[in-house]
Structure 1
Amino acid sequence: MDSIVIRFSAPFTLESNYCYLTTKNFKSNFLSSIPRTKSFNFKLENQTKGQNGVVFDESAYEAERLSLDAKARQSMAETSKREVEMGTEDDPKAWKWVIRKRVWDLMETRNFSQNPRPVHHRIPNFVGAAVAAKNLGGLEEFQVAGCVKVNPDSPQKQVRFLTLSGGKKLLTPQPRLRTGFFSVLESSMLSPSTINEACTSVGVAKYGRPIGLDEKIKVDLIVIGSVAVDPKTGARLGKGEGFAELEYGMLRYMGAIDDSTPVVTSVHDCQLVDDIPVEKLLIHDVPVDIICTPTQVIFTNTTIPKPQGIYWDKLSPEKLGQIRILRELKSRIERETGQKLPSSPSEKLPPTAQRKRR
């Protein structure tokens, strides 16, 4: 086969593993001038085949993720400012933003957080996250678990690595559930050289097997990120979007978890607080059973009830509009029960990715 080097406005490389370039305009304007006996093969850089042979554009996925994350953080910043200004009497969630901001400010001021920074409106990628993950990996609850659900945030990347390298099944949600539901990864899907990549958001999308609501799966341990957590009560605050609660509720609906499924978080010691008012927690807030920091492991013996499912009256129409899997679940329940489920008042939300209707 003959080959030729051509300069394009988009990056191309010639490789032995290739896909055919079939752009219509290119064929009509260029290929018509090439003798038909010749064959040209190109591969778009950063495009690889993921699970099920689907071409996955890593650069496009990461660029979109970063853009949407930035917009989401801006929206959360506006929400926190608005709710704090309204005060606790007008908004029962304002106190949460006060605690979050105190922790975020402390971590920034004392450099307790690694990149990405600034740490505000994120699950902090705290200094010592790998050590905390090692402590988590030493838990009996982790060692006996066959399937571990781990959040997709940066500070829990090492937990995801320990899960896969330990031969366990890893269940990870798509970031903000924006492009799907959960992805399952197993060490048998990966090579030693790809396990580390599979622990990233791009790697999960590239190597993971997407699952739906009818997947028969048992989750033995849940690992979630936190902004602040009370070691005496197990009360926890996330970054304020509520996705950990939604993921927990959907797993309850699927029968994948129950009240006995341990919930663990890994945080910096400065994220331990003692002023989360348990009486002000909402019914869908998820408490934690175990806290792992770089210096200690804490069993909270929490008495806070765990959520029993999705609380539809807490979900706005905008939130449902963003998350296809939630719309599917709502429609299914309404069909099965013959009753329309409630929803909360409207709210302003960050934009999400464009999705194809199914």
Structure 2
Amino acid sequence: MTISQAESHKHLIRTKVWSQLRKVALPDSRFHHDYSSFIADFEGSSAATDLLVSLPAYKNADLLFIAPDNCIQALRYRALKDGKTVLVTTYGIRRGFWILDPNEIHESKWEMASMLDGMERIGRHIALAEITKLPMDIGLMVTGTGAINYKGLRFGKGHGFFDLEWAILYTIGKVNKKTKTIAVVHECQVLDEELRGEVWDTGCDFVVTNKKIIEVEDASKPNCGILWDKLEEGMLEDIEPLRELRSMKK
């Protein structure tokens, strides 16, 4: 299967899942039900959060990356309440990484800081050079996704932002192939579909739904860093950390 055929296959899968997701998804204030533009929150996401925080991978992590997805806003808030430091990116990674440190933010502002509309006002922008100097590595990366199979391969919105976030953090040495990854989804987003992963696809060690935890054996993790020639057109110009990373490499 060629790359174009594989992407067409993924698109068909996403479309099928989105028709089911619409029954349980919560609309976004900006994107409504356009699931190609955002990862939706859904009925039962609080139950998924409760399941996730029971995992040793969560309990043992002091520094977490939690993607800027609607379905894991409550997890960002929960992590701050649990005394954990959270890294998050802005939408599309365009304005880079932000750090939410419960030791720097008053607890009355934790919930607002966990929201995309609040994190840039309350959290702190952090450059890659500073991330490299943080005293701990990232213990866990969590994302939402459009759909996922039982091998932990994601069928996302099609832009590859989580793969890119992994690649950036891998390149600067803050994650490695042992770093645990988790996808949070509704039951209707878990599929039996086969998918051949690309070299840059970041598999998930756990899939956490509103009903259960699925543990994936030998989830694939890329070790290639940024594949500069594979970036979508305009990404280098639009995404601040990519420009910083290129400067660091020079």
After TM superposition, is the score higher than 0.5? Answer: yes
**Residue identity opposite 1:172 in structure 2:** V
Say whether the 8 Å CA contact 2:236–2:243 is kept in structure 1. yes
Query: Hey, what does 1:253 align to over in structure 2?
Result: 171
**Residue identity opposite 1:188 in structure 2:** N
Structure whose residues are more often strand by fraction: 2
**Residue identity opposite 2:9 in structure 1:** W
Q: CA deviation at 1:271?
A: 0.5
Query: Hey, what does 1:202 align to over in structure 2?
Result: 117
Query: Hey, what does 2:224 align to over in structure 1?
Result: 308
Match of 1:289 among 196, 202, 205: 205
Q: Deviations over 1:17-54 (max 9, x none)?
A: xxxxxxxxxxxxxxxxxxxxxxxxxxxxxxxxxxxxxx
Query: Hey, what does 1:269 align to over in structure 2?
Result: 187
Say whether the 8 Å CA contact 1:153–1:225 is kept in structure 2. yes
Aligned pairs for 1:118-197 (under 5 A) are 118-121=33-36, 122-179=38-95, 181-197=96-112
Tell me, which stretches of 5 or more residues in structure 2 are unaligned? Answer: none
Q: Residues of 2 paired with 1:305 and 1:293: CA distance?
A: 21
**Residue identity opposite 1:206 in structure 2:** R
SS in 2 for 1:99: helix
Q: Residues of 2 paired with 1:132 and 1:236: CA distance?
A: 17
Match of 1:99 among 10, 13, 37: 13
TM-score with structure 1 setting the length: 0.64
Whether 1:113 and 2:25 are equivalent positions in the alignment is: yes
Structure 2 vs 1, CA of residues 89 and 193 (structure 1 numbering), >3 Å: closer, same or farther? closer
Q: Deviations over 1:123-164 (max 9, x none)?
A: 121211111011101111101110110011110011101110
Q: Residues of 2 paired with 1:126 and 1:324: CA distance?
A: 30
Say whether the 8 Å CA contact 1:88–1:94 is kept in structure 2. no
Q: Residues of 2 paired with 1:148 and 1:309: CA distance?
A: 19
Structure 2 vs 1, CA of residues 214 and 139 (structure 1 numbering), >3 Å: closer, same or farther? same
Tell me, which stretches of 5 or more residues in structure 1 are unaligned? Answer: 1-86, 336-358
Aligned pairs for 1:314-329 (under 5 A) are 314-329=230-245
Q: CA deviation at 1:90?
A: 5.1
Bigger-Rg structure (1/2): 1
Say whether the 8 Å CA contact 1:178–1:322 is kept in structure 2. yes
Say whether the 8 Å CA contact 2:206–2:214 is kept in structure 1. yes
Q: Pairwise CA RMSD of aligned residues?
A: 1.8
Q: Percent identity over the alignment? A: 29
Q: CA deviation at 1:327?
A: 2.1
Say whether the 8 Å CA contact 2:98–2:125 is kept in structure 1. yes
Q: Residues of 2 paired with 1:237 and 1:165: CA distance?
A: 31
Aligned pair count reads 242
Query: Hey, what does 1:8 align to over in structure 2?
Result: none
Q: CA deviation at 1:112?
A: 1.3
Q: Deviations over 1:182-241 (max 9, x none)?
A: 11111122223211101111221011121112122310000011111112x111121111
Q: Residues of 2 paired with 1:329 and 1:261: CA distance?
A: 21
Aligned pairs for 1:5-154 (under 5 A) are 91-108=5-22, 111-116=23-28, 117-121=32-36, 122-154=38-70
TM-score with structure 2 setting the length: 0.91
Q: CA deviation at 1:88?
A: 6.8
Task: Give runs of ≥4 in structure 1 deviating > 4 Å.
Answer: 87-91
**Residue identity opposite 1:196 in structure 2:** E
Structure 2 vs 1, CA of residues 330 and 143 (structure 1 numbering), >3 Å: closer, same or farther? same
SS in 1 for 2:108: coil
